Structure 1
Amino acid sequence: SNTGGGTLAWTANDTAAWLTLSPASGTNSGTVTASIAANGLAAGTYSTTVTVSAPGATTKTLSVTLTITQSTSTSGFSVSPASLAYTGTVGGPNQVLGVTITNTGTSTLTVTWTDPINWLVATSGDTVTMAPGGSATISHTASTAGLTAGTYSGTATISGGGITKQVPVTLTLTVATLAPAIGLNTTSLGFAGSVGGANPSAQTIGISNAGGGTLAWTAGDNVPWLTLSPLSGTNAGTVTATVNLAGLLAGSYAATVTVTATGATPKTVPVALTVTGSTNSGTIGFSPANLAFSGTIGGTNLAAKTFNITNTGGGTLSWTVSDNATWLQLTLASGTTTTETDTISASVTLSGLAAGTYNAIITVTASGSTNSPQQIPVSLTLSVTAAGTANLTWNTSTESDLTGYKVYRATASGTYGAPLATLPKTTTTYTATELQTGTTYFFVITAYDSSGNESTFSNEVSKSIF
């Protein structure tokens, strides 16, 4: 303060680095604050002088003393979590866990982890240093190698700053429960054959359970020429794949076998089939061995008869048919067959023919065939129409259990009652007698088997008696 008169313009200063004055100057009355910075100072006593001066005034001084004593430090640390509990499965992946150590003391702290546990492996360093308030993590891996199912335990020790803490450590291993998984012993199948040739040898797919539990599998494919057996099974099994070449032309074919099971990823097996052209030109097969027609002059038109051409060899049979009679007509003149049956219809024209027996030959030829040509004899017998009678003929039924035929007659189309006659299966002709003049008669034939089952009516024929 100004204890005199006039104006007091004062300044304050000191000579110690550890002492700070604020403010350092002022006018008349004022307050100066002295602050101590003890950082870096060792224990001991320090002195300095604060000097206050002003123009025209006597300088004043103030002694300042600082005493620094040695502080008393403390050590301590905490561990979190207080224990480690590892879990896993036998043969499964290893697990890593760690503890966080915090320095709760007032000085720098170094701690070290030690343990006698042979299945515990250090992931980080086992010794860490922390400043006051600092933290560090020590991590370890629990190795399951060579261990069976069960619970394993041990105790680790963390020591530092004269303090020791224990950390209980446990490892619990269980047997892993595996889902079923499809295992296959092959990744693909390949077959080869020729047109009309023998089917290639069957191949197999081995199926196994590559996982756990029960594998209930099914197998399927996506093409008609491939057959699998069996189509299902449990755990291990063998599926046989068989190829049928019937009806296949030369070329490359592809299929996929798919194996599925509940809870498992499906597996597929690609299948390749190569069919080459055959060098065999086929062999002519035909049936029946002959054709026979019979009728009457001026009688009903005769029903057409059929014969079949087949390939009894391999490869493709390219056939042609011809005949040597003007009264005989064929529906087809040529065709090809590998394994299928080709049916040709033969019919006769009675116009202009007199009563008698006529013979013709149907010739079947095939280029390159080992038995070409083949001949089918054809006979036609015509008789004079008998007054009051009607001669009926029909084709033989191909039913394996054929017993015979029934003949029906009516005087109006489609109005048939009881059969006129019942005939054995060896008979394919019938003569209806006692037909009245001036009447038109209608006839149909049926076939019946050993169980009494009867076919539908044949085509209807008619004859007028004059």
Structure 2
Amino acid sequence: MKRVLLLAVFLCVLGLYVGTSDVLAQNGIVSIRTINGLVSGDTVMAGQPLKFFINFNNNSTKKADVSNGYQLSSPDGAVWDSTTIDSIGPINDGGTPEDPSDDYSIWFMNRFDIAAAFQKFSADGVGADTVGFLGAGSPTKAAKQLPATWNDTVYAITAWFSNKTAAGKHICIDSAFFPPGGTWKWVISPSLGVLLDIYPEWQGLTPSQPHQLANAEGLGGGYCFYIYDPNAPKATLQVSPLTLDFTATEGGSNPVQQTFNVTEQAGGTIAYTASEAAPWMTLTKTSGNTPDVVGVNINITGVTAGVYHDSIQVASAGATGSPIWVKVNLTVNAAPRLVATPDTLFFTATEGGANPLDQSFAIAEQHGSAISYVAAEISTWMSLSKTSGTTPDNVGVSVNIAGLVPGTFTDSVIVTSPATQYGDRVIVRLVVSPRAKTLVATPDTLYFTAQEGSGNPPSQNFHVAEILGAAVPYALFETAPWIELSKASGSTPDDIGVAVALGTITTGEYLDSIRVTSSDVTVSNTEWVFVRLSVTACPQLVVSKSLFETTVYVGLPLAFHDSVRITSTGGDGLPWAVANAAAGFTFSSQSGVTPYTLNFDYANTFAELGDYDVCFDLGSTTNAGQVAAMACSSGVTVCVRVHVVERPCVPWSMSDTLLTFTAFEGGQPTPAWRPFTVTDPDSSNIGFSILRPEIGAEWLKFVLGNDTLVQPNVVSTATFKIVADPTDLVPGTYTADCYVTTFDQRACEPRTRFFDVVLVVKEVIIPSADTVIVANVPAVPGAQVAVPVSFVNSCPMIQMYASLAWATPNLHLDSVS
């Protein structure tokens, strides 16, 4: 975009005259006087320059300096060659062009002797072109500045078109800021030395031409003109629907928005305008480009019931079928009105009696329509069966006379509806007649309990009232010396305290009464309150068991555990404590209150036989104000009787009394060893010694763990190995008489017990030739037995062949090695 700078002097000069703005009755008018290239209305001819003649109307009654800028743009992409601004002289001037003093090109500018200039800040016909004029003249010179009565053309703005490519589009002209001239304004001097800014009104070709808003790109604002090419195919404007029907109710809400579509028949894009004049109708937009949707809103505020018709004009310059009218029909129905019948409900009741029967009223809309309603009331003695619904309907009314004194009560039920401002109401009248009064005393019996010789029991209250809460006087009478009243008379409702003074009263049951009377009560004017007193004896501790028994062996530790349940006569809560407990007792608690389960343990070791009683005491002393005011002691002794008896001997045994080993001379015994166990069934850890003969039994050894011993010492129960060693023994039978002995007196007699170990050493027979040796093995009937068969050779050999045969089917070859 091209930019031409304005001389700084123009801005400075105009600034000298810029003063504080003021409001005048007339601020001037800047308008489009005519257009060269105008076809008609807002349509201009395509393919030729368009010259906009600008007209100034100074109706401010004062001379003025001027600063006005203009912007030419297109909302739909029209492009022209360039934009110019130049003086054209006044159209209404009566002079002749031949007169140099009446030169059209400078005649208007000559009025501004201080500064005058046309400016172009962007004038290439692309996007937005901005041009303007700034003029300042001497206010003291009559022929200078814009005259006070001027109403004529001043200059022309030309958009130069050399072709018809812009046909079917729009060109718009609007007022604009133009640097450095500044704001769109005129400056006047109402009096010498005083300057005021005024802002002239900007009008189109006619005062009624609509002013358009610029689009999102800032183009197309101001007064727009359709560029028409008579030789180009015409677009066809279409609108649907052509009729919109709205219905509303007088005083109700506005009807829902409706829309109509604006299109070009072939789907093209053309500009359009939409206008209407009805005060009850507005459009969501008044111009745009097809295809588009226009919303229609109806506002029935202040519109009375009836049928209304109007139309919306939709126009597109140069389009076939333009303009098109959309008919709008508005029907406003008369506002509904609620009617409640009957308009009054009458209730009667007696004070303190039953509530009167329910009544109801009907709710309807006067025209029979179904509308929603709300029924409301604020009375505390009245309630409704429902508070909302839809007409026609019935609403029940209930009256609750609780708490109402005799008299006449009036209230109303208000019936409203969101569908109408015309509601209704129902008057409700209630007459409550006086009633007969009845005296009531509650509770009718007071129960006191105490212990003989103790403090007085806590005081209690009874309540005196008239049955329905009325205030009536009352008096009290009683004769028992142990009854004390907090008051002798008063007014209902009231509470009376009753205290009991035990004094010297002994254990027993006592009964007396208090008479309550009222002189203002007509029904049941005397009531009786009975007073019962139960005096009990001092409470005592009670245990579930006082003697426990157990048995222990002399010399062995005793660990006894049990529990006792502690209760008391005369009720729970009696405190207790453990005292005088024998040594060895431990308790789950040293003190508490009844009831309580006391766990105890007793541990001791008795060195002598006999029966022993070990005991502890449970004592109680009541605290003042707890169970008894006077100290009242009780106690009980709990004992454990221990029977100390002789312990029986511990039985013990040996696993064997005879152990036999066999061996060939110079060979190993069979078996290699035998286990031997000394058993104590109670595992009493009794010490035992195992001994062999000192002479002739050197071949016999005892193995305990990893140690080989001659005389092992063990603790029952114990197991060790017995080993027979035939080394250096000649063939024969060797017997060792061994014994197990203990010096522990717990072991049963005999405390020395014998067992024999026998070792048979056999001679080795060396055959003179190859020999088969079949062993002799004892057998048990019904059991399998292995019979070793050995082959002995008399000389070295490499291989040996032998044939085995046997006559009985009970033998079979098991293995060969």
More strand by share: 1
TM-score, length of structure 2 as denominator length: 0.26
Instruction: From the CA coordinates, give the structure whose radius of gyration is larger.
Output: 2
- The higher-RCO structure (CA 8 Å, 6+ apart) is 1
TM-score, length of structure 1 as denominator length: 0.43
